[in-house]
Amino acid sequence: MSAAQLHRGRLLWFEREPEGADDTEAFHYIEDGAIAVAGGRIAWSGDWSDLPAAYRGRDVVDHRPHLIVPGFIDCHIHFPQGQVVASYAGSLLEWLNTYTFVEEQKYGDPEHSERMAGRFLDMLLAHGTTTAVAYGSVHKGSVDALLGAALKRDMRMVAGKVMMDRNAPEPLTDTPQSGYDDAKALIGQWHGKGRVEVAVTPRFALTSTEAQMEMAGALAQEHPDCLMQTHLSENHREIETVAQLFPWSKDYTDIYDHYGLLGPKSLFGHCIHQNEREIARMSESGSVAVFCPTSNLFLGSGLFSLDKMRSVTPNVRHAIATDIGGGTSWSMLRTLDEGYKVLNLQGQRYHPLRSFFQATLGNAGAIGMSDRIGKLATGYEADFIVLDSKASPAMALRAETVSTLSEELFLMQTMGDDRTVAASIVSGVTVHSLS
């Protein structure tokens, strides 16, 4: 690992979601730019020719002709599921019961959790993800291990201990009180320490009794600065089962609403099969729908429709995520590619400038951190990545005919993977490099 004060290359970052390539006020693109880093933050960024005198003559890492963008942000990923990716199953509940719940039991072993925490962070950084919002297992120690590992790397990370007191194997269940106590202890120990935070994490309504849902709501209200993460409307059988467990509810979203779990700090994974009332209520509350395209395709759950949501209300908040291990790739580039396909199947356009915005500043906004990550602007935390659009022979062949920024982004989104990430820089330190 090394810390450099100056990085030179082509720079791209966003101010808001662009309408298209002509919406140049939405983003900054500098053909020959520089980033100066001090104290883990961006001290200056701009055109190389405008480099302040204070930085001239200092050591430079020259990334040209590569593109430097803010680090990717993954809004929904499961720490204990790195070794269940690509497990053969036909649907969500089969996959959970056959593989995932078996694997997650291993995280009751602190040594296993600590070993896997380092590997988890290594995988994120190798794929250009510098911030993630992660689910731990039901074991408090799994979150201790992950946040401890992230703290050592000065990496921005959010994680929560899942709360589950029914419909799971006995070694993976807690109680309403123990789930509350463990989450409360994690918040006291980790939340706001360095760059790590704790999320209130009821896994989903199917695995929590009404008593536990009440406890989760109490936690969220007692700690309004914490994110809340859970799952919602992913699979038809799941939805039917949840309706049977909560017969008084109007719909799936109403269950979370009833317990005070909707709001601007709330992230709901999937949100594929919501009705208009649910979408309107999500928007009204400021809650975030998290699109997980590779997972939805792999488990046959359905097709997320952004246009459907925006037809109900244009202001619905949304994010995009890998959902490892139901998701099939750690790469946000692969995730954007599958997201494009899911939307294209439904006649919806997903311009590459929009998708790169979503994976950076858009996702930063979804988790309430757009004031500190997601840009290459002065004062922001120095988390950025270097992308090589000619990383593979096939990409290099296609790149010979690329002539615009949008074409280059779409090439990397469509054909790229971890090989495309030439370097990842966290808090100004190069923590991954292919050179």
Give the count of beta carbons closer than 10 Å to the beta carbon of residue 46: 18
The answer on 121 and 96 residing in a single domain is yes
pLDDT at site 90: 87
Q: In the predicted model, is pLDDT for residue 1 greater than 60?
A: no
CATH of the domain at 15: 2.30.40.10
**Residues 99 and 189 reside in one and the same domain:** yes
pLDDT bin (cut points 50, 70, 90) of residue 20 is confident
Per-residue pLDDT of 381-405, as tens digits, reads 999 999 999 999 999 999 999 999 9
Is residue 73 scored above 60 in pLDDT?
yes
In this prediction, residue 21 carries a pLDDT of: 84
Instruction: Kindly state whether residues 36 and 133 are assigned to the same domain.
Output: no
* Tokens representing residue 308 in the block: 């459907």
Q: 40 with 138, same domain? A: no
Same domain assignment for residues 176 and 231: yes
Are 49 and 175 members of one domain? Answer: no
| Residue 3 in this model has a pLDDT that exceeds 70 | no
Determine how β-strand 6-14 pairs with β-strand 60-70. Answer: parallel
Q: 316: domain CATH number?
A: 3.20.20.140
Instruction: Please tell me the predicted confidence (pLDDT) of residue 75.
Output: 98
Residues 315 and 403 in one domain: no
79: in domain? yes
Quote the crossing angle between the two packed helices 140-152 and 110-126, to the nearest 10°: 50
The answer to whether 120 and 146 are in contact (CB under 8 A) is yes
Domain end among 302, 330, 358: 330
Residue 98 maps to a domain: yes
pLDDT tens-digit series, residues 45-72: 999 999 999 999 899 999 999 999 999 9
User: 435 pLDDT band (50/70/90 cuts)?
Assistant: confident
Residues 83, 30 share a domain: no
Q: Please report whether residue 361 resides in a domain.
A: no
* C-alpha dist (Å) from residue 295 to 27, 82, 83, 272: 30, 13, 15, 12
Give the model confidence (pLDDT) of 134-193 as tens digits: 999 999 999 999 999 999 999 999 999 999 999 999 999 999 999 999 999 999 999 999
pLDDT for 111 equals: 97
Same domain, 6 and 97: no
Structural domain for 13, as ranges: 2-70+374-433
**Whether residue 112 sits in one domain with residue 165:** yes
More confident call, 321 vs 20: 321
- Residue 231 amino acid letter: H
- Overall pTM > 0.95: yes
